[in-house]
Amino acid sequence: MESLEGIPVSEGVAAGRVFVLDDLSARIVRRPIAPDQTEEEIARFERAREAAVEDLRHVHERAKAEIGEDAARIFLVHLGMLQDSALIEPVRDKIRTEHIAAESAVSEVFRMWGDRFRSMNEVAFTTKADDVRDLADRVLERLVGARRSRLAEIGMNAIVIARDLTPSQAVNLDKNKVLAFVTDLGGRTSHTAIVAKALGLPAVVGCRRASELAIDGESVIVDGHRGRVILSPDEETAEQYKEYAEQRRRFRVSLGELASLEAVTPDGHRIELLGNIEFPEEAASVVEVGGGGVGLYRTEFLYLTSDHEPSEEEHYEAYAKCIELLDGLPLTIRTVDLGADKYTQQRVEQPERNPFLGCRSIRYCLRSLPMFKTQLRAILRASSLGPVKLMFPLISGVEEFRQARLYVRDVMEDLRESGVDFDPDIAIGMMVETPSAAVIADMFAREADFFSIGSNDLIQYTIAVDRTNEQVAHLYDPHHPAVIRLIRQIVDAGRRNDIPVSICGESASIPEYALLLMGLGLRTLSATASALPNLKRVVRGVPMHRCEQIARKAFTLDSAAQISGYLRDQARQLVPEAFDGRSVEA
Ligand code: PEP
Ligand code: MG
């Protein structure tokens, strides 16, 4: 038995048989050809490339049907890349000048691009490297034909283990046979991780040497909660996990029953539970689990899954789709939060030295006015279709908020002049996710219509710890007393100025942390749809006066470890059922 640790990117536990999907490109050797064969070889490359383009069109159609139009757009990006002369000309040149076979030239050129992106050592570029590798494999499959037949051999209950798995490979896995996947490379924000969640397959990435150590056909367990992969588990571990999987199944069934119940504490305090979404289709999942609307729509995913800047109409259609699915429930649209780990092609080409402290989010929008105004027009037009709120990310000073709001007013004026409908009273709020905004939250509370606490960023900027860097991951802790103090300060400022405050960072979905947040005065929590049922269970299980006691006690503790331990103990005593599916420590 061997236990490997990786990054959990998609929940769930699966036990099955290893299916190693090896790296096709690594097996291609440099094959010389006679000089008079070069034109023939270039033609062979062209045929393979065109066939790969055709394959991608089918994959795109299939992905649209399975994971929705927006998520499927990544394949349009791939289509564009495979027709881009920057990528294909060097292949032709190589065949022509170095007299090598088409597959050798493809492998070398694409690998060079992949290595170049990967050496930049940033999530944004690594993701780009994944895309290039995916394309290389597609063309190579057509040239040497090995990998597809390998995938055709896949048996039932397969756990696919690969050095890397590209988005198109992930989406093409046969869901009747594949139970989970594991990759050596990859990070939390890679496109493949997003596809895994959209498909609902447990997945662990960044598992270093998994594909080297795993042996085809051996038994394996994938734990998508803890990011653990157990090769050849012994009987005791296999038994524990069987029980664990059964617990999880019962837990999910029991959570399903909560959808129609109210999120009210036993002493009558109502908590609003909202969903975070990246794609419009996810609004349906929020409604399905009984969410009260969308508290955060990360609209930058419109850019990340497209090969062009989305038009006003594309924005509008996405928002209209959300509004339709939400059927009267509110939609909070956050203006694009590009930059840092969320990039566009243009930004990849102009890297910043310190992108998390650079031109990201609202700063980027305020410097890209036509783009910003296009989105604002679409949001305002959509506001005539249903309840819509608007908020800006990463606000760090009041002038920034005022400036952004001024543009909203400008766009309103234009729309009014053109006789286009919109909601003139649309709520304009802001994310509070920088320490500067938290510290002067009282000043902001006189300007903004509402606050949404972005704890993911607030934690990284408060503790000075990059949220994407695994080297300092142990320091990234929502329980740090400084973070908790800042949250209280934001909530108090909102309360004193009578504006609503919610929280939409990942920490809102941790059951014990939710108790603390409620005790601090938060009445709206926004989290990924799958986390909402368990949060509802927590809300329904603990009276507010207990949450307040817990928050008071947490305030007397001075270390993150103490606070975290205390909260966990309390929550496990008060709502043990919220931890049912997580109680096995294998
Ligand atoms: C946050 O920072 O907490 C947040 C919700 O925004 P994002 O994770 O998209 O940066
Ligand atoms: Mg943020």
pLDDT per residue as tens digits for the range 426-451: 999 999 999 999 999 999 999 999 99
C-alpha to C-alpha distance for 370 and 410, rounded to whole angstroms: 12
Sequence-distant (6+) residues with CB within 8 A of 341 are 122, 123, 124, 189, 355, 356, 468
State mean pLDDT over 291-309: 86
Query: What's the gap in Å between 95 CA and the centre of ligand 2?
Result: 46
Question: Which protein residue has the closest C-alpha to ligand 1 atom 6?
Answer: 454
- Compute the average pLDDT of residues 343-353: 60
Pairwise CA distance, residues 57 & 119, whole Å: 30
Q: What is the pLDDT of residue 531?
A: 87
Residues 132 and 175 in one domain: no
Distance 59 CA to ligand 2 centre (A): 32
441 belongs to a structural domain: no
Cα 434 to ligand 1 centroid, rounded to whole Å: 11
Q: What are the distances in angstroms from CA 564 to CA 143, 508, 519?
A: 55, 14, 15
Instruction: Please work out whether the CB of residue 505 comes within 6 Å of at least one atom of ligand 1.
Output: yes
298 in contact with ligand 1, CB cutoff 6 A: yes
Q: Which atom of ligand 1 approaches the CA of 454 most closely?
A: 3
Is the pLDDT assigned to residue 147 strictly greater than 90?
Answer: no
- pLDDT of residue 244 exceeding 60: yes
Q: How far is CA 135 from CA 107, 228, 306, in A?
A: 10, 29, 16
H helix count then E strand count, the chain: 26, 16
Around Cβ 431, how many Cβ atoms within 10 Å?
Answer: 27
Among 140, 42, 165, which Cα is nearest to 95's? Answer: 42
Maximum CA pair distance of the chain?
85
Q: Which long-range contacts (CB under 8 A, 24 or more apart) does 109-114 make?
A: 110/25, 110/135, 110/136, 110/139, 111/25, 111/136, 113/87
User: Residue 389 is inside which H or E element, if any?
Assistant: strand 388-392
Q: What are phi and psi of 27, to 5 degrees?
A: -90, -5
Q: How confident is the model at residue 586 (pLDDT cuts 50, 70, 90)?
A: very low
In a domain, 474, yes or no: no
Is 98 exposed, middle or buried, given 0-12, 13-18 or 19+ CB atoms closer than 10 A?
A: middle
Q: Which of 84, 118, 143 is the last residue of a domain?
A: 143
Ligand 1 in reach of 468 Cβ (< 6 A): no
Q: Are residues 64 and 174 in the same domain?
A: no
Local structure of residue 397 (DSSP, 8 states): S
Which residue's alpha carbon is nearest to atom 1 within ligand 1? 454
H or E segment and range at residue 334 = strand 331-334
Query: Does ligand 1 lie within 6 Å of residue 504's CB atom?
Result: yes
Q: Do residue 286 and residue 414 come from a single domain?
A: yes
What is the band of 151 on the pLDDT scale with cuts at 50, 70, 90? low
Would the CB of 341 count as within 6 Å of ligand 1? Answer: no
Q: How far is the CA of 455 from the centre of ligand 1 (A)?
A: 7
Q: Are residues 76 and 100 in the same domain?
A: yes
> Residue 67's domain is classified under what CATH number?
1.10.274.10
Site to substitute for ligand 1 among 298, 336, 392, 394, most atoms within 8 A of C-beta: 298
The pLDDT value recorded for residue 208 is 82
3 state SS of 423: coil
What is the sign of the dihedral through the CA atoms of 11, 12, 15 and 19? negative
Looking at the predicted structure, is the pLDDT value of residue 458 above 60?
yes
- Look at residue 341 and tell me whether its pLDDT is greater than 70: no
pLDDT digits (tens, 9 = 90+) for 559-584: 999 999 999 999 999 999 888 655 44
Ligand 1 nearest-atom number relative to CA 340:
10
Same domain, 221 and 274: no
Strands 228-231 and 2-5: antiparallel
238 and 104 inside one domain: no
Q: Report pLDDT digits (tens) over 74-90.
A: 888 888 888 888 888 99
Which residue's alpha carbon is nearest to atom 8 within ligand 1? 456
Both 121 and 164 in one domain: the answer is no
Give the end of a domain, one of 143, 168, 194: 143
Q: What span, in angstroms and rounded, lies between the C-alpha atoms of 52 and 141?
A: 9
Q: Whose CA is nearest to atom 4 of ligand 1?
A: 454
The answer to whether 348 touches 125, Cβ cutoff 8 Å, is yes
Determine the Cα–Cα distance for residues 72 and 59; give it in Å rounded to an integer: 9
How far does CA 464 lie from the centroid of its chain? 22
Q: Domain holding 506: CATH number?
A: 3.20.20.60
pLDDT tens, residue by residue, 80-121: 888 888 888 999 999 999 999 898 899 889 888 887 877 776
State the Cα torsion 82-64-281-411 to the nearest 10°.
50
Tokens representing residue 18 in the block: 């290893």
* 209 three-state secondary structure: coil
Residue 346: pLDDT band by 50, 70, 90 thresholds? low
Residue 585 has a pLDDT of 42
Number of Cβ atoms within 10 Å of the Cβ of 421: 12
How far apart CA 321 and CA 341 sit, in angstroms, is 27
Higher per-residue pLDDT: 558 or 7: 558
Q: What's the confidence (pLDDT) of residue 330? A: 98
Residue 585 lies in a domain: no
If asked whether residues 138 and 173 sit together in one domain, one would say no
Residue 530 or 480, more confident: 480
The residue type of 39 is: E
Q: What angle in degrees, to the nearest 10, is found between the helix axes of 191-199 and 123-144?
A: 80
Q: How many other CB atoms sit within 10 Å of the CB of residue 402?
A: 11
Q: Distance between CA 526 and CA 508 in Å, rounded?
A: 7
Examine residue 550 and state whether it is found in any structural domain, yes or no: yes
In a domain, 259, yes or no: no
Per-residue pLDDT, averaged over 389-397, amounts to: 98
* pLDDT score recorded for residue 449: 98
- Computed over every residue of the chain, the mean pLDDT equals 88
Q: With 50 as the cut, is the pLDDT of residue 472 above it?
A: yes
Distance CA 12, CA 570 (A): 25
Would you say residue 477 lies in a domain? Answer: no
**Are 387 and 352 members of one domain?**
yes
Q: Could you tell me if the CB of 300 is within 6 A of ligand 1? A: no
Averaged over 312-337, what is the pLDDT?
97
Residues with Cβ within 8 Å of 379's Cβ and at least 6 positions away in sequence, in order, are 315, 319, 333, 335, 388, 390, 426
Q: Which of 516, 537, 514, 534 is nearest to 525 (CA)?
A: 514
Q: For Cα atoms 285, 287, 289, give the angle at the middle one, nearest 5 degrees.
A: 70
What is the pLDDT averaged over residues 23-33? Answer: 72
Total domains in the chain come to 3
| Residues classed as catalytic | 191, 504
Mean pLDDT of 17-21: 90
Q: Pick from 365, 369, 384: which is nearest to 316 by CA?
A: 384
Q: For residue 487, how far is its CA from the centre of ligand 1 (angstroms)?
A: 15
Q: Is residue 468 part of a domain?
A: no
Q: What is the pLDDT of residue 342?
A: 66
Residue 565 and residue 515 share a domain: yes
Nearest bound ligand to the CA of residue 527 = 1
Pocket test for ligand 1, best of 457, 467, 487, 526 (most atoms within 8 A of CB): 457
One domain for residues 314 and 400: yes
The verdict on 410 and 277 lying in the same domain is: yes
What is the atom index within ligand 1 of the atom nearest the CA of 455?
3
| Domain-ending residue, one of 95, 122, 143 | 143
HEC-encoded secondary structure of 239-272? HHHHHHHHHHHHHHHHHHCCCCCCCECCCCCECE
Residue 257 within a domain: no
158: domain CATH number? 3.50.30.10
**Cβ(454) to ligand 1 under 6 A?**
yes
Lowest mean pLDDT of 52-61, 247-256, 309-318, name the range. 247-256
pLDDT in tens, 489-520: 999 999 999 999 999 998 998 999 999 999 99
pLDDT > 70 in the chain, percent:
90
471 CA → ligand 1 middle, Å: 20
Would you say 302 and 74 are in contact if contact means Cβ atoms under 8 Å apart? no
pTM of the model: 0.73
Query: Hey, which of 69-83, 230-244, 345-359 has the most confident mean pLDDT?
Result: 230-244
**Parent domain of 215:** 153-252
Give me ligand 2 centre to Cα 368, in Å. 19
Residue with the nearest Cα to atom 9 of ligand 1? 298
pLDDT digits (tens, 9 = 90+) for 184-203: 887 664 556 766 776 678 99
* Bridge partners, residue 204, by sequence: 8, 182
Q: Cβ(457) to ligand 1 under 6 A?
A: yes
Which residue has a Cα nearest atom 7 of ligand 1? 456
Query: What mean pLDDT is predicted for residues 405-433?
Result: 98
545 pLDDT band, cuts 50/70/90, is very high
Q: Which atom of ligand 1 is nearest to the CA of 276?
A: 5
- CA 349–ligand 2 middle distance (angstroms): 23
User: Does residue 508's CB lie within 6 angstroms of at least one atom of ligand 1?
Assistant: no
